[in-house]
A and B are shown apart, each in its own frame.
Chain A
């Protein structure tokens, strides 16, 4: 029985006596390869599957999941979901979406060439990444984490309102972290590449990026504590956008769990800032034809030239506000009901090159890496992370910087964005967040 049929049979079992039911099946294959010093260290292969069933009894929700598709297990899951719904609290806005037309277009999320890639090719690929990293400079000594992974995934979704849909996607990614060592000095660099197929990745670039970054950062030291300009690379900026994406959901607004909760319709950022969410961006890492409860995905302009004009909705939060879902219901796996989160979320690129952004800075910090970004607080906007990068003096990078913090509440940070470059880059490690290089003034740098 194929998975859409499994989902249908579960919905049929659960949806009796007015119960609304939805079944979500995710299945696929995963491969990962880890290389260490030119040898295969770890190889992993798998095929996996899982089903989650959500039921609604007069607005009361229950959810159960299983990875065993035998009749008994599926029956057990339906039984558990119904039992859990009984003890939940009713909410009239909690209903499953009515089926809506899904535009049939190529979203470029499935690359059939993944099928033909052998494990051997993946091993050769990742060995090349390591060799390129170690070859970037003689001071690059250790590859601490050197991993390739890929997956082919199929999602099937059926609900009792008549929705039925499925799609496939492929993913291929490589990551390497290296250490450069020079006497007592040590520095870490990393490189990564992601795409829909191995063919989209360049092992030389991934390795070289890691090696070159590590060497450049050697000898980093703190700078004196001060207020200065900070220029964020796309990688560094994407972490603060991640917190912002949580603050811009309807759920955060409705429950006042965002520093933006009473700012709707107002200017909340400098006019350089336009923030978008687009679940249909071709090839995007969060792109899919429908969201995880069957609503069509789409594009939402959240902040338009600084003005806060839209939030992200799933079916529940949209009904609560008398709005239409923006197609942002999502789940990490089959083990939980859909939540509400951003899809491909990004700052619209501006006209200038990243180089010209740096050239305009009299005194400031060019940040290439930040740590502890999960402590950024989307509720009150507290933002203080540690940073690594290069000091800028009169438009030129002078020396590597390490062991400093950068801090500014997010609401002020948005206002202080003074330039946005044209180099929009998506960072799938953070979700599917994209940013160009951005310049922010008046940031507190904590150092010596």
Chain B
């Protein structure tokens, strides 16, 4: 990247009109995407996204200017633009010496992306496609994709921070349609993480697509989901997306300091049962949401959000931490150099609980088992959330029975969390293809054990079934 003297020069320019802190963020991202659809390798795309931005903090204001040209001249011009906004009455200040931070966690990869040719990667997609189609003649469409991303970032600031991170992301996706007569079912599956090609040796994409194909076919027999309130058991792994959406977002510091979140001012208070602990951990080796440093140069951390039911901490970036004169928790992330950082989750999960997962189902007389959740959304102010259940089953007398389609879960995050009456011992993280949107997109991971909520509203099209409520 640029020599240290150039960075110093850019930071000094940024602080020309005063300001409390100046930061330089540089990025070089290379991406390869292959898409196989309708049994043809249709789209093969490769490209690079290179650029940088200069941010100046003055009081509670941050001015940012970015450019897709990484020359010293272009970055100096960005620094000038950011400094122009500062117009602070402070004296111009000079940056301290930059000290390169050594990461305390690493996410090493074993097989770099170039150890397979593009043609071999295309052949892998063909193999996945054929395996999915061979699973059942009812699989009418299959689209698979391979994406590798190498993202290098450099972060410097006037407090002397110099941090570098290198993030290798691998992602395989398959989206299937099963068709019988007029009935259509879709399933999306995938594998991913902060990993090199070793993921292909360690986790079998063919098994994953076969399972997805079987599920899609199985779901053709699904009946419309019932509507109304009932007990809901949420599967482990990706089921953690419910906590991510319904509670995690409400613990992001920007919604806390503005007072918008239902969890504002709740540190130290009980927000769930005493067997509930929830964590955001950016340090888990090689997970999709893992980092060495966040996009502001703060080391990745393990943050305990809720411990034994008590709210402990929120997720902070620099902007929000500066407001309160505290430290960032390493949750300052940005989609690219075109975006300013904001508090974001990394790998967020509900920790293992005391209950036997099988017993959770067995002890449920009537309800819904949400095996596979689709996407969800939260309204921050109240914490109201909604989720699609893409694979669901009725629970009758402690057993899974009829598959149901078109179910939606709605509820209030803080309320649902308080209501949880069972948490399994079977903590699992998701397969690693999660993408979180908050104006900017971020790669994240979620997880949880099997979790039971005694009363949730389920939206379906079938008539309500009387007496479906209850444990």
Contact = CB atoms under 8 A, between A and B. Distances in A.
Residue of B37, B119, B410 with highest tally of chain A CB at under 10 A:
B410
Contacts of A142: 258-260, 381
B38 A255 contact: yes
A408 interface: yes
A81 B47 CA distance: 9
Contact of B260 (A68, A80, A144): A144
Given A50-B68, A88-B41, A405-B408, A256 B177 contact: yes
Contacts of B459: 384-386, 404-407, 444, 446
Nearest to B44: A84
B340 A44 contact: yes
A46 B66 contact: yes
Contacts of A141: 259
A61 B45 CA distance: 9
A402 B141 CA distance: 38
A446 B460 contact: yes
Contacts of B319: 42
Interface residues of A, number: 76
A49 B53 CA distance: 15
B227 A63 contact: no
A404 B384 CA distance: 10
A409 B177 contact: no
Given A63-B44, A186-B382, A372 B85 contact: no
A108 B61 CA distance: 35
Interface string B247-288: 000000001001110100000000000000000000000000
A87 B44 CA distance: 8
A188 B382 contact: yes
Contact of B388 (A47, A87, A372): A372
Nearest to A90: B40
A386 B408 contact: yes
B408 A385 contact: yes
A100 interface: no
Interface string A280-296: 00000000000000000
Contacts of A171: none
A407 B65 CA distance: 45
A85 interface: yes
Contact of B411 (A87, A179, A403): A403
Interface in A391-405: 402-405
A377 B229 CA distance: 23
Nearest to A77: B47
Interface stretch (B302-310, B370-378, B445-453): B370-378
A65 B45 contact: yes
B61 A42 contact: yes
Interface string B429-471: 0000000000000000000000000000111111010000000
Contacts of A143: 258
A85 B67 CA distance: 30
A446 B119 contact: no
A96 B308 CA distance: 61
Contact of B406 (A40, A179, A374, A382): A382
A99 interface: no
Contact of A448 (B44, B65, B185, B229): B229
Interface string B7-44: 00000000000000000000000010100011011111
A44 B66 contact: yes
B387 interface: yes
Contacts of A446: 227-228, 408, 410, 457-460
Contacts of B461: 384, 407-409, 444
Given A61-B43, A63-B44, A36 B408 contact: no
B65 A45 contact: yes
A63 B43 contact: yes
Interface in B34-88: 37-38, 40-51, 53, 59-69, 81-82, 85
A67 B68 contact: yes
A222 interface: yes
Contact of A67 (B50, B118, B384, B405): B50
A119 B229 CA distance: 51
Interface residues of B, number: 81
A207 to B, nearest CB: 16
Contacts of B212: none
Contacts of B172: none
A335 B386 contact: no
A41 B62 contact: yes
A31 to B, nearest CB: 10
B412 interface: yes
B42 A409 contact: no
Given A68-B68, A255-B141, A379-B177, A144 B186 contact: no
Nearest to B260: A144
B45 A64 contact: yes
Contacts of B53: 46
Contact of A225 (B50, B82, B227, B379): B227
A225 B460 CA distance: 10
B22 to A, nearest CB: 14
Contacts of A186: 262, 381-382
B340 A42 contact: yes
A404 B259 contact: no
Given A63-B44, A225-B228, A384-B407, A144 B50 contact: no
Interface in A246-263: 255-257, 259
A271 interface: no
B384 A372 contact: no
B406 A407 contact: yes
A47 B248 CA distance: 34
Given A42-B340, A84-B46, A380-B186, A385 B386 contact: yes
A335 B47 contact: yes
Interface string B111-132: 0000000110010000000000
Residue of B45, B179, B255, B384 with highest tally of chain A CB at under 10 A:
B45
A407 B386 CA distance: 13
Interface string B179-205: 100011110000000000000000000
B388 A375 contact: yes
B229 A84 contact: no
Contacts of A200: none
B375 A372 contact: yes
Contacts of B170: none
A372 B374 CA distance: 10
A337 to B, nearest CB: 6
Nearest to B229: A448
A187 interface: yes
B180 to A, nearest CB: 12
B43 A337 contact: yes
Residue of A39, A77, A259, A403 with highest tally of chain B CB at under 10 A:
A403
Residue of A47, A68, A85, A380 with highest tally of chain B CB at under 10 A:
A380
Contact of B85 (A83, A119, A188, A374): A119
A48 interface: yes
A324 B24 CA distance: 50
B64 A65 contact: no
Contacts of B41: 87-89
B457 A405 contact: yes
Given A42-B61, A87-B119, 18 more contacts: A41-B60, A41-B61, A43-B61, A43-B63, A46-B338, A61-B44, A63-B44, A63-B46, A64-B45, A67-B49, A87-B122, A142-B260, A186-B381, A225-B227, A335-B49, A403-B410, A406-B459, A409-B406
29 contacts: A36-B60, A41-B61, A45-B64, A45-B82, A46-B67, A61-B44, A63-B45, A67-B49, A68-B50, A77-B47, A81-B46, A87-B41, A87-B44, A89-B40, A89-B41, A91-B42, A225-B227, A256-B140, A256-B184, A259-B184, A335-B47, A336-B45, A372-B376, A372-B388, A385-B408, A385-B459, A407-B227, A444-B460, A447-B457
Interface of A: 36, 39-50, 52, 61-68, 73, 77, 80-81, 83-85, 87-89, 91, 119, 141-144, 179, 186-188, 222, 225, 255-257, 259, 335-337, 371-372, 374-375, 377, 379-380, 382-386, 402-409, 444-448
